[in-house]
Amino acid sequence: MTSPSSPVEAADPFTAPFGTLFGDKITIARMEAGDEYRYSGSAEPMENFSLHPATHALHYGSTCFEGMKAFRQDDGSLAIFRLDDHVQRLAKTVAQLYMSVPDVELVTTMIVDAAEANAAHTPDAPGSLYLRPTLLGTQVNIGAAATPSNSALFYVFASPVGDYFAGGVRPLTIHVETETPRTTPQFGRAKAGANYAMALGPTLDAKARHGADQVLFASGGDVTETGAANFFLVDSDRVITRELDDSFLHGVTRSSVLALATDLGYEVEERRISLDELREWASRGEAFLSGTAAIIAPVGTLKLEGDTVRFGDGQPGPNTLRLRDSLTDIQVGAATDSHQWLTPIAG
């Protein structure tokens, strides 16, 4: 069977759009009728696979994923950033979907095996090998709408990615959505496709009506996160982000930023952020988004209750860039990994 993408060797991850190039190896485990997940023990060729048209995930949303990166280190070796945290979060999401959770050891092995099998396709920093563990409910039964899938497919593939901001970091324009929520209360913390489907309408609407790149969800004035990234305020003294609860995704980048901010001597505040504070902060501070794909993305402009609110001169601020550099330095082995966030792998 032919690969749907162009051969990875021939393509340049620094010019290809994020997520459109794929490594040529995948690790796959299957779970049937409530039994254990079974993995062959090694990576296979990355090929199309077939699914019965009545597959549970295709009808009832029994699918979720993770996203993390392996970075080429300054010394030429490879390491995965915060592997254990991503594995733990996957387990929580799968449990939230009421499906059988694969063992932590199995998931870890399959991610490492997929990364090692695709290691040759890892671009140099600031590029990386993005790893995408994915789990699908594969029970063939369209009558199983109100029961979890008793079978599943779990796999890990890789995507060589360049710098998310090809041509330099560009500050984003963000629409603040105060009415429509990003997702439902019971799915806030789940890294599931369903959440992206729910955020799509408000995001397209914000693009069309406000020229916005992203939507910052703030139902009832409670500022949480965008469709795919956590939100921060920063100035030269303080780093502020929403306190953790079940309403939003607990980003691994978010937790990394908070740890580094503490290391760098910022005062860290995890608490609620109001719309008034956004306006007030814009007059003197900075804002940014955090997530694995873009790492840290500066916010230049907010569209807030009909107003256009600019942060500084609309350019990335010094504190945002400082936090971004301190994080990327650890990811590529240019700074000491004092939190032990890197897992070395072969390749």
Ligand X SMILES: *Cc1c(COP(=O)(O)O)cnc(C)c1O
Instruction: Report the residue number, 151 or 214, with the smaller CB distance to ligand X.
Output: 214
Q: Assess 252 for contact with ligand X (CB under 6 A).
A: yes
Q: Assess 93 for contact with ligand X (CB under 6 A).
A: no
CA angle 150/152/158 to nearest 5° reads 165
CB of 241 to ligand X, least distance (A): 11
The span from the CA of 31 to the CA of 148, in Å, is 13
Q: Which stretch binds ligand X (CB under 6 A): 93-101, 132-140, 226-234, 267-275?
A: 226-234
Q: Assess 292 for contact with ligand X (CB under 6 A).
A: yes
Helical packing angle, 83-96 and 252-263, nearest 10°: 140
The residues in 51-70 that bind ligand X, with binding defined as CB under 6 A, are 67
The residues in 141-170 that bind ligand X, with binding defined as CB under 6 A, are none
The span from the CA of 53 to the CA of 128, in Å, is 35
In the chain, alpha helices (H): 56-60, 83-96, 104-117, 193-210, 252-263, 275-282, 318-331
CB of 34 to ligand X, least distance (A): 28
Candidate list 191, 210, 303, 324; residue touching ligand X; CB under 6 A: 191
Instruction: Report the residue number, 294 or 304, with the smaller CB distance to ligand X.
Output: 294
Q: Assess 228 for contact with ligand X (CB under 6 A).
A: yes
Cα dist from 225 to 103, 121, 122, whole Å:
30, 32, 30
Q: Strands 152-161 and 342-345, how do they pair? A: unpaired
Q: Assess 331 for contact with ligand X (CB under 6 A).
A: no
Q: Which stretch binds ligand X (CB under 6 A): 151-159, 202-210, 244-252, 298-306?
A: 244-252
Candidate list 118, 224, 253, 301; residue touching ligand X; CB under 6 A: 253
Half-sphere exposure of 50 (CA within 13 A, CB side): 2
The SS3 of residue 121 is helix
CB of 297 to ligand X, least distance (A): 11
Instruction: Report the residue number, 175 or 254, with the smaller CB distance to ligand X.
Output: 254
Instruction: Report the residue number, 217 or 281, with the smaller CB distance to ligand X.
Output: 217
10 Å Cβ neighbour count for 36?
13
Q: Assess 317 for contact with ligand X (CB under 6 A).
A: no
The span from the CA of 171 to the CA of 269, in Å, is 23
Q: Assess 225 for contact with ligand X (CB under 6 A).
A: yes
The span from the CA of 231 to the CA of 294, in Å, is 13
Cis peptide before 126 (omega within 30 of 0): yes
The span from the CA of 101 to the CA of 303, in Å, is 41
Q: Which stretch binds ligand X (CB under 6 A): 21-29, 106-114, 136-144, 223-231?
A: 223-231
Candidate list 291, 298, 300, 317; residue touching ligand X; CB under 6 A: 291
CB of 230 to ligand X, least distance (A): 5
Q: Assess 254 for contact with ligand X (CB under 6 A).
A: yes
Instruction: Report the residue number, 60 or 217, with the smaller CB distance to ligand X.
Output: 217
The span from the CA of 186 to the CA of 59, in Å, is 19
Burial class of residue 82, CB neighbours in 10 A (0-12, 13-18, 19+): buried
What does the binding site for ligand X look like in residue numbers (CB under 6 A)?
67, 191, 195, 225, 228-230, 249, 251-254, 290-292
